[in-house]
């Protein structure tokens, strides 16, 4: 009998609390002036601090709401767009095509007029490459009204890092990372002879393979030819593309790749590199912070992926790390833009860079960052990004390309086979579009 009483009262408590909690949630919304949705877990405390400073300065309360992981965040933003519940400020994850869709659907405020105020003061304070990611050119292939639609709050580059003490162990000069691809392969042979592990990276999350392959595509055939391929004017079976794919076979055969690289997630790769279990890593500028926390004594240096050809310069992915946009339907548009402008001012950018070890988007804030991070910042000159190319490759083609490279690494397919397969899918997608 006692048990059933407990049961009954539990039900009662539950229903009362449902009713109460239903009422409570509505009041809180009125106090807030600006709501920001973001996915950047590591920056949450810094954002909270900045929000406090902004409230002290302007009296406007900014609410940073964190929704992590980024997959869930991305779904939330899309769902909110369907229900017309987008916050004042948010970020869009995904490809430029998705960004374009958000703009075309009228969800995002165009920021060009604000950027150009006072002789383009705001615009000029930011890295041009970081802005380019949020920009649509005149006559772009997405059919979006040209202009700037997002504000970069930090930048990033993705390049290679090497472990200096393992270099010494291999009898190499710890201050001389490999300059060209042949040198890299030679080191690969030494690594496998010494039974060490070579390159680690998040190649199980396919986008990092894509990034690496694109670097070499730019190096071997130049930007124009890569973009011509995306437009469908050059075939993936072109000898240059086969050369790009063959690089992976060469690297595999030289023993450069760490075991398990094809299915490795980036966090595992970071663990291994930080604990001196791998000679090379291919990673983004955020790694500085990760390595510092896991192993402060790690001796390492950053370098551009070694050239495989001297016809064209090496390119790496880089540009805006994270960007914010303003909702076009927000009631506080002006206030939201003002806040973003304040956020990208020098002092706030320096604070963000120091607190989170990310590269600031504001050009004047670069002076006060650690040396290795500055190395990543200098690589900005070689940086490019699919989001600034003006055209997007079809996702099934990207997938076939990246997964094809995995197949090459595990020795299942030849570069020629992968190229033919990718081209077949490319033609199928092109036919569908027509």
Partner 1 sequence: MKVKSALESYLLVLPAVLIFSVFYIVPFFSVLQLGFHEWDGILPTKIFVGLDNFKEIFADKIWWQSFWQSGYITLIALTFQNVLAFLLAWACDREIRMKNFYRVLFFIPPVLSEVVVGLVWQWILNGNYGILNHWLTHFGFTNLARDWLSDPNTALTTVAVVHCWKGFGWGFLLFLAGLQTIPRELYEAARVDGANAWSSFKNVTVPLMVPVVVMVAILTILGTMQVFVLIYTMTGGGPGYHTEVPVLRILASMRGSSRFGYACAQGITFGVILCMISFVQLLVSRKAKN
Partner 2 sequence: MQSTIYYKAKKTTVNLIIHLFLLTVGITCVFPLLWMISSSLKTQETIFKDMSIIPKSFHFENYYHAWIEGGFGRYFLNSIFYTVAVVIGIVIISSMAAYAFSRLRFAGRNVLFVIFMAAMMIPIQGSFVALYVLLNKLHLRNTSLGYILCMINVGLSTSIFLLKTFFDKMPKELEDAARIDGCSKIGIWWHVALPLAKPVLAVVVVLNALNVWNEFILALLIFDSRPLMPLQVALMTFQGEFVTRYPLLMAGLTIAALPIIILYLLMQKYIIKGVTQGAVVG
Residues that bind partner 1 (CB under 8 A): 71, 74-75, 78, 81, 94-95, 97-98, 101-102, 104-105, 107, 197, 204-206, 258-265, 268, 277, 395-396, 399, 403-404, 406-407, 409-410, 412-413
Collapsing DSSP to helix, strand or coil, 303 comes out as strand
- Distance of closest approach, residue 402 Cβ to partner 1, in angstroms: 9
- Distance of closest approach, residue 84 Cβ to partner 2, in angstroms: 8
- How far the first Cα of the chain sits from its last, in Å, is 73
Residues 403-422 that bind partner 2 (CB under 8 A): none
- Distance of closest approach, residue 105 Cβ to partner 1, in angstroms: 5
Q: Let me know if 289 is exposed, middle or buried by CB neighbors in 10 A (0-12, 13-18, 19+).
A: middle
Q: Is the dihedral of CA 16, 83, 322, 160 positive or negative?
A: positive
- Distance of closest approach, residue 413 Cβ to partner 1, in angstroms: 8
- Distance of closest approach, residue 277 Cβ to partner 1, in angstroms: 7
H/E element, 90: strand 89-90
- Distance of closest approach, residue 411 Cβ to partner 1, in angstroms: 9
Only one of the segments 15-23, 180-188, 249-257, 419-427 lies at the binding site for partner 2 (rule: CB under 8 A); that segment is 15-23
What does the DSSP 8-state code read for residue 135? E
67 belongs to the binding site for partner 2 (CB under 8 A): yes
Q: Residue 396 binds which one of partner 1, partner 2, none, with CB within 5 to 8 A depending on kind?
A: partner 1
- Using CB under 8 A as the binding criterion, the count of chain residues that bind partner 2 stands at 44
Residues 69-108 that bind partner 2 (CB under 8 A): 69-70, 72-73, 75-76, 78-80, 82-83, 85
Q: Residue 11 binds which one of partner 1, partner 2, none, with CB within 5 to 8 A depending on kind?
A: partner 2
The number of beta carbons lying within 10 Å of the beta carbon of residue 367 is 7
- Distance of closest approach, residue 78 Cβ to partner 1, in angstroms: 5
12 belongs to the binding site for partner 2 (CB under 8 A): no
Distance of CA 97 to the CA centre of its chain: 15
- Helices and strands counted in the chain (H then E): 17, 12
Give which of 306, 296, 271, 248 is closest to 197, Cα–Cα.
Answer: 271
**What tokens appear for 196 in the block?**
């060490």
Q: Quick one: 209 or 377, whose CB is closer to partner 1?
A: 209
In terms of DSSP bridges, do strands 280-284 and 199-200 run parallel, antiparallel, or are they unpaired?
parallel
For residue 401, what are the contacts with CB-CB under 8 A and spacing of at least 6?
210, 213, 236, 418, 422
What does the DSSP 8-state code read for residue 380? G
Q: Residue 345 binds which one of partner 1, partner 2, none, with CB within 5 to 8 A depending on kind?
A: none
Calpha distance 399→392 (Å, rounded): 13
**What tokens appear for 260 in the block?**
């398990």
Single out the residue of 295, 309, 414, 417 in contact with partner 2 (rule: CB under 8 A): 295
Q: Residue 230 binds which one of partner 2, partner 1, none, with CB within 5 to 8 A depending on kind?
A: none
Q: Quick one: 11 or 105, whose CB is closer to partner 1?
A: 105
- Distance of closest approach, residue 101 Cβ to partner 1, in angstroms: 4
The number of beta carbons lying within 10 Å of the beta carbon of residue 364 is 13
Calpha distance 284→286 (Å, rounded): 5
Q: Quick one: 255 or 319, whose CB is closer to partner 2?
A: 319
Calpha distance 351→286 (Å, rounded): 16
9 belongs to the binding site for partner 2 (CB under 8 A): no
Calpha distance 357→154 (Å, rounded): 10
Residues 255-284 that bind partner 2 (CB under 8 A): 267, 271, 274-275, 284
In 36-161, where does DSSP find H-type helix? 44-58, 70-82, 96-104, 112-125, 128-132
Q: Quick one: 68 or 410, whose CB is closer to partner 2?
A: 68
Contacts 24+ apart (CB under 8 A), 215-218: 215/305, 215/314, 215/315, 215/316, 215/317, 216/244, 216/247, 216/305, 216/308, 217/241, 217/244, 218/312, 218/313, 218/314, 218/315, 218/384
21 belongs to the binding site for partner 2 (CB under 8 A): yes
- Distance of closest approach, residue 266 Cβ to partner 2, in angstroms: 9
Q: Quick one: 251 or 264, whose CB is closer to partner 1?
A: 264
Q: Quick one: 64 or 389, whose CB is closer to partner 2?
A: 64
Calpha distance 406→409 (Å, rounded): 5
Calpha distance 80→35 (Å, rounded): 14
- Distance of closest approach, residue 192 Cβ to partner 1, in angstroms: 12
List of residues contacting partner 2 (CB under 8 A): 10-11, 14, 17-18, 21-22, 25, 28-29, 39-42, 44, 65-70, 72-73, 75-76, 78-80, 82-83, 85, 267, 271, 274-275, 284, 286-287, 289-290, 293-296
């Amino acid at each position: 009998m006692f048990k059933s009483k407990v049961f009954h009262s539990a039900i009662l408590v539950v229903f009362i609390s449902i009713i109460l909690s239903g009422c409570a949630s509505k009041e809180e919304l009125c106090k807030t002036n600006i709501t920001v949705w973001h996915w950047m877990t590591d920056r949450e405390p810094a954002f909270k601090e900045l929000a406090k400073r902004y409230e002290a300065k302007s009296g406007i309360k900014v609410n940073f709401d964190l929704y992590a992981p980024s997959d869930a965040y991305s779904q939330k933003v899309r769902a909110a767009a369907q229900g017309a519940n987008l916050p004042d400020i948010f970020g869009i994850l995904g490809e430029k095509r998705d960004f374009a869709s958000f703009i075309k659907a009228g969800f995002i405020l165009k920021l060009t007029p604000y950027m150009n105020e006072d002789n383009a003061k705001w615009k000029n304070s930011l890295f041009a490459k970081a802005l380019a990611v949020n920009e649509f050119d005149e006559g772009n292939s997405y059919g979006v009204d040209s202009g700037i639609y997002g504000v970069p709050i930090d930048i990033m580059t993705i390049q290679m890092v090497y472990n200096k003490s393992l270099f010494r162990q291999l009898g190499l000069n710890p201050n001389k990372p490999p300059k060209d691809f042949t040198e890299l392969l030679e080191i690969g042979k030494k690594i496998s002879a010494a039974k060490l592990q070579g390159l680690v990276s998040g190649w199980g999350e396919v986008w990092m393979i894509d990034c690496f392959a694109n670097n070499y595509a730019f190096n071997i055939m130049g930007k124009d030819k890569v973009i011509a391929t995306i437009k469908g004017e050059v075939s993936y079976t072109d000898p240059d593309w086969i050369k790009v794919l063959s690089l992976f076979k060469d690297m595999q055969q030289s023993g450069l790749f760490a075991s398990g690289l094809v299915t490795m997630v980036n966090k595992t790769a970071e663990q291994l590199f930080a604990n001196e279990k791998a000679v090379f890593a291919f990673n983004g500028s955020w790694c500085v912070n990760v390595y510092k926390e896991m192993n402060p004594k790690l001796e390492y240096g950053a370098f551009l992926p070694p050239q495989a050809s001297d016809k064209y310069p090496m390119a790496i992915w880089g540009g805006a790390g994270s960007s914010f946009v303003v909702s076009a339907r927000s009631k506080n548009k002006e206030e939201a833009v003002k806040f973003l402008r304040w956020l990208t001012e020098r002092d706030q950018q320096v604070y963000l860079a120091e607190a989170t070890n990310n590269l600031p988007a504001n050009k004047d804030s670069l002076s006060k960052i650690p040396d290795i991070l500055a190395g990543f910042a200098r690589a900005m000159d070689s940086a490019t990004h699919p989001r600034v190319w003006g055209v997007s490759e079809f996702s099934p083609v990207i997938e076939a390309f990246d997964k094809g490279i995995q197949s090459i690494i595990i020795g299942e397919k030849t570069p020629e086979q992968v190229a033919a397969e990718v081209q077949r899918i490319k033609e199928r997608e092109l036919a569908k579009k027509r």
